[in-house]
A and B are shown apart, each in its own frame.
Chain A
């Protein structure tokens, strides 16, 4: 069969691979090369070595600032989303009336696109802050916490669904045995439930980690980096370097390469973490 199929490469594999090359492979390699060049159009470039990488950090401090902002945002959201989502999942696996309706409502924000979400929260947060005669743009910390609230609102339902599925898979005989042995709620939670849902916790931690690092649409619609680039996250900073400053295309591309390495490092870490868990089990 393999022999018969092999010569069908042009029909089965080629169409998707052409799209893949046009959309990803060629732009990716080209972009990598251009990160070492100075250019205005992508076909007319001069090699400048690592100059773009140096300028990414030295020309202004917005990129480093965006890194710290993104890191802080990601740490806060990873912790808050996972704790809240796990708590809701616990609450929704106790046969409380209305469980299905609650689950439907909690998951819903996850489907709304980032741009729409950003504008929704801009109105709500500005409405609240107006009571104190402030706006979202009066201080960078409002933008930060605004984004944190938005991200929690959007992602809690998603992670909750994953945790619910995991908690429902905890073997009932283990829970019954614990109950017979007189384990209280806290012991059951920490000694039985949490250890058995560990794989899901790993998945959710990394999902929230990458979501936080790659956030763009919400950032653009909520604050667009204001005031003065202070609420600019990495993805938005890269976009602005490319498109709002003439002559900085190379620097933008260098930042994009650094960003890619960061995100890839997180993914690699996840791979190692999941592999190790599998060995332990």
Chain B
């Protein structure tokens, strides 16, 4: 009897899960469907109607939208900024984390607490002075912004790296040094290989942050170089109505890389999120 009851409960739960899954997928389908419809048919109650002979416009929204916001150059900037920032964050903060964990002293522990403090401070606190300052020292370009991302990503990344480094025994590093290895050689051949799984976690978290970040690229380089989120918001324009057709098409293009990335790296992403949540 209990078995039968459990079976029915599971069927009901399964049906509820289906409804939730539909709720999650529905908005994405609406956008996909509207991306091939003419502007007039997206607003008002037409949003949920399938494209028909009257409303179907083929890929013209994609062509118009991509041209208007130079989507492919935005994709290029997003890709470059994300890859370069994450690579430098990983390299520079793993080195910093090793240094401040292994060299004990007032200075290194002060650095550690400053970094932890920076994780709490919201972006709004520094955005105005930071963007003006970046402008003053001429790092307001797609190369200079990497410096800013390293500076902002520093806190969480160093915190997670040093948390892991504390747990690895000194003996290996000391043995390498006694054998005559320099600190540089010790770091790259002994320490860095051990940091691999922490590095993957950090890479995932930082990639998700940099790729989707809007305010920093908007304020620092937004007038000349637009990343994907900035380009999407740019479609809104100053005044007047939004070209919804192009908007739908660009939203689809913006989601494709994210969904592909997710399907390929799902295992690492979920693991990374879990590790990040527990430590952050």
Contacts and interface: CB of A to CB of B under 8 A. Distances in A.
Interface in A224-281: 235, 238-239, 242, 249, 252-253, 256-257, 259-260, 263-264, 267
Size bracket, chain B contacts: 35 or more
A contact patch SS: helix
Interface string A176-204: 00000000000000000000000000011
B233 interface: yes
A12 B17 contact: no
A20 B95 CA distance: 14
Contact of B124 (A22, A96, A239): A239
A23 B150 contact: yes
Contacts of A94: 10, 13
Interface residues of A, number: 88
Contact of B102 (A1, A214, A252): A1
A17 B266 contact: no
Given A4-B183, A97-B14, A119 B247 contact: yes
B203 to A, nearest CB: 14
A83 interface: no
Interface stretch (B57-65, B128-136, B192-200): B128-136
Contacts of B247: 119
A127 B259 contact: no
B115 A127 contact: no
Please name the 6 residue pairs, one residue from A and one from B, whose CB atoms are nearest each other, closest first: A23-B151, A127-B47, A113-B212, A27-B130, A19-B151, A12-B99
Given A207-B277, A256-B124, 4 more contacts: A12-B98, A127-B44, A161-B273, A264-B121
22 contacts: A8-B184, A13-B96, A17-B96, A19-B150, A22-B133, A23-B154, A31-B130, A42-B132, A43-B136, A88-B17, A111-B208, A115-B214, A115-B232, A123-B244, A127-B45, A130-B44, A130-B45, A130-B47, A204-B277, A216-B124, A239-B124, A249-B128
